[in-house]
Amino acid sequence: MPLWWNGRHVRFRSVCLKSVGVQIPPAAQFKTMNNNYYQKKFFILEVDKKDNPIKKIERWQAHKEGILHQGFTAILKYQDKFILQHRKHPVFDGFFDLSFSSHPIFIDDKIQTFEEAIFETFKREWISEEKNIDIKFLENYYYKEKDEKSGYFEHEINYIYLINLKKEVKNSPLYSYGMKISTKNDLIDRFEKINFAPWVKKMNLEIIKNL
């Protein structure tokens, strides 16, 4: 069956459309009692190390088995300050993100663009009056890390974007324990000391210095 990948018509060598009975990490169950988003079944894009599409895969299966897939991180900046999210999440819970991360998902057989996925995640995880956001691509890179607490993996080609906000935002308590606001100099000076999620540590600091 032909599928759409970021606006490009592609055919996958094999497409698994069967239901996958993968559960979220048990240690995180108590945190999601009032948040059923993490219990929903979504499909993300499995890729190879050159970012070529392979097939759609259920998101928790990908994270449990360490299967390489596409993801993104969006950096929020407001009035020359950077916003950090204190993650409340089944995987890498309690780490800080710069500023939020997720994945494009399949809607039927068409995958979201990164811009669509970022905007949807922004509206879900942040309290904001912004109606439109300017999303700028910065870089992408490969990484793989295991979360020892949950036993799940993040194994991604991760795409980094910048969002320059026009209005203040607040964190949603459903998706984070809180937020921090940092100047660029403080962020750079303390970068190695902050308990960042592993994909943030992989960012190119030179890019952040030039934002």
Flag whether 72 is in a domain.
yes
- Tell me if 201 sits within 8 A of 208, measured CB to CB: no
Question: How many separate helices (H) and strands (E) can be counted in the chain?
Answer: 5, 15
Flag whether 18 is in a domain.
no
Mean pLDDT of all residues in 13-25 = 43
| Residue in the block written with tokens 């937020």 | 179
Domain with residue 160: its CATH number is: 3.90.79.10
Flag whether 20 is in a domain.
no
Mean pLDDT of all residues in 30-52 = 82
- Tell me if 172 sits within 8 A of 124, measured CB to CB: yes
Flag whether 106 is in a domain.
yes
Flag whether 19 is in a domain.
no
Mean pLDDT of all residues in 84-107 = 97
Flag whether 205 is in a domain.
yes
Separation of alpha carbons 86 and 195, rounded Å: 9
Per-residue confidence (pLDDT) for residue 117, from 0 to 100: 97
Mean pLDDT of all residues in 110-117 = 97
**Number of Cβ within a 10 Å radius of residue 50:** 7
The total of structural domains in the chain comes to 1
Predicted confidence (pLDDT) per residue in 139-179, tens digit: 999 999 999 999 999 999 999 999 999 999 999 999 999 99
> Does the structure show a pLDDT above 70 at 191?
yes
Q: Which pTM was predicted?
A: 0.85
Per mean pLDDT, which range of 2-11, 20-29, 39-48, 159-168 is the poorest?
A: 2-11
Flag whether 188 is in a domain.
yes
Per-residue confidence (pLDDT) for residue 8, from 0 to 100: 42
Flag whether 38 is in a domain.
yes
Separation of alpha carbons 39 and 64, rounded Å: 14
> Does the structure show a pLDDT above 80 at 10?
no
Per-residue confidence (pLDDT) for residue 34, from 0 to 100: 54
Separation of alpha carbons 202 and 158, rounded Å: 10
Structural domain that includes position 170: 3-12+25-209
Sequence length of the chain is 211
Q: Which residues on adjacent β-strands are paired with residue 139? A: 160
